[in-house]
Amino acid sequence: MSNHSSKRSVFLLFSVALLDLIGFGIVIPILPFLSPTLGATKFDIALIIVVYAVCSGVMSPFWGRLSDRWGRKRTLMLCLLGAAVSYVALAFAHALWMIFAARAFAGLMAGNLPVAAAMMADLTSLENRASAMGKLGAAFGLGLVLGPFLGGLLSGDSGSFVLPCVVAATMSMLALGCASLFLQETVSAEAQAEHRHQAKTYRFGSAFVFLRRTGNLRFVSQFTTHSAVISSITYLLPIWTADLLNYTPKEVGLVLGVQGLVMAIVQGGLIGRLIDRFGEIPLLRSALIGLFTGLLLAVFATGSVLIPLSFFIAMTGANFCFPILNSLASKRADAHHRGQMMGATGSASAWGRVVGPLVIGFAVTHYGYPSAWAVLVVVSMYYLHWAFRVAQVDSKSLRMNNV
């Protein structure tokens, strides 16, 4: 693929991901407010996040393997269709169990980001991989700018969340249409046939076997750690600011939107330049120091300045981490098993979204917000330990660990 063609394909994939993630972003700030109208407690909100994550964790390896065997494009389109259906189901939920069911189905179909990451890796060279993964991060960031803004605007003060959920479904359908018309398949028919011949069926637990066999188990566990911290922050922000600062969905959407803009700037262009200057591992370590600092500040934060400031510091540090982790992951498997590798990282991230909100939901319910933030500080210390003691050794063995 020529350089011009590759850049065009990267841009098209970025555009498809952006449309889908705007829909995803619309739902994020309204869920904590939609659920209590149907009788949900704070812990129920955590469970709603968890049920999505459990289903995603179970199915992400399947979607990654399917994209190796069936093709990235068709797999991505199927996941986008599933997302649209889940948003429609959420729009017309009139009982708490229906919210759980809608989010469970959304989790089962949540293979779009791992498959898009595998496709992005297919389209780029090793040298440009982290920058390209940053493009997906930028799509997520812009989705968090436009999506929460639209979600808060569309929900208004009426208490009805039908319109924002329907709009979210429409965005996923637009992404599906663009993927169908403009994206090119990145896995050849021969490679797909080879994968189908090698393994006819999906086996539960096969991702664990794959990671252990290739020496990637310890590395991929960092996706679980990262996701546990970030999902916990995202869970805490709406209820924390609502209780302490009387924030509504509009204010929460604004905060997420500002952070999304920062994320888009960091991952859309800045991260590539910084990696060229400092390298992936040193930048990862610096970012984790920022994450740790923001979480530590949140333990003691009060008032309308320190509370959002601690969130911005923590999340800005986290924004640098994920594209670097994705870049490293894509280099640890050859092209024939890239979908399986990215599916495994997607599953690891999903299980982090299970553990994080469950633990933090229990902590905030029984011990309050400072204790919940303190738990995240301790977890981030383990993350820092890995980055400073282990990551450099892991990075040197990238080529050796390929399948």
Instruction: Express each pLDDT in 94-152 by its tens digit.
Output: 888 888 999 999 989 988 888 888 888 888 877 777 777 777 777 777 776 777 778 77
84 phi and psi, to 5 degrees? -60, -45
Indicate whether 205 belongs to any domain.
no
pLDDT digits (tens, 9 = 90+) for 9-58: 888 888 888 888 888 778 766 776 666 666 777 677 778 877 887 888 88
Which of 74-83, 149-158, 236-245, 281-290 has the least mean pLDDT?
A: 149-158
Q: Assess if residue 200 is contained within a domain.
A: no
* Distance between CA atoms of residues 353 and 355, nearest Å: 6
- Domain extent, residue 134, equals 8-181+210-397
Q: In the chain, how many domains are there?
A: 1
Q: What is the model's pLDDT at position 198?
A: 62
Confidence grade of residue 286 (pLDDT, cut at 50, 70, 90): very high
- Cα distance between residue 362 and residue 146, in whole Å: 31
pLDDT score at 298 = 96
Report if residue 173 sits inside a domain.
yes
192 found inside a domain: no
Return the pLDDT at 388.
86
Read off the pLDDT band of 306 (50, 70, 90).
very high
| Rounded Cα–Cα distance for residues 57 and 269 (Å) | 30
* Mean pLDDT, all residues of the chain: 81
pTM of the model: 0.71
The answer on pLDDT for 395 being more than 70 is no
Q: Is residue 243 part of a domain?
A: yes
pLDDT higher at 395 or 275: 275
- For residue 400, the model assigns a pLDDT of 44
Q: Please give the structure tokens belonging to residue 344.
A: 């495994």
Residue in this structure with the two tokens 């890239």, named with its chain if needed: 338
Is position 189 within any domain?
no
The answer as to whether 2 is a domain residue is: no
Q: What is the pLDDT of residue 3?
A: 57
3-state helix, strand, coil in the chain (%, to 5): 85, 0, 15
Q: Does the structure show a pLDDT above 70 at 92?
A: yes
- Residue 191 resides in a domain: no
**CATH number for 48:** 1.20.1250.20
pLDDT 10s digits, 330-389:
777 776 777 778 778 888 888 888 888 889 988 998 999 999 999 999 999 989 988 887
Q: How many angstroms separate the Cα of 352 from the Cα of each of 59, 153, 180, 294? A: 14, 30, 32, 20
pLDDT higher than threshold 50 for residue 272: yes
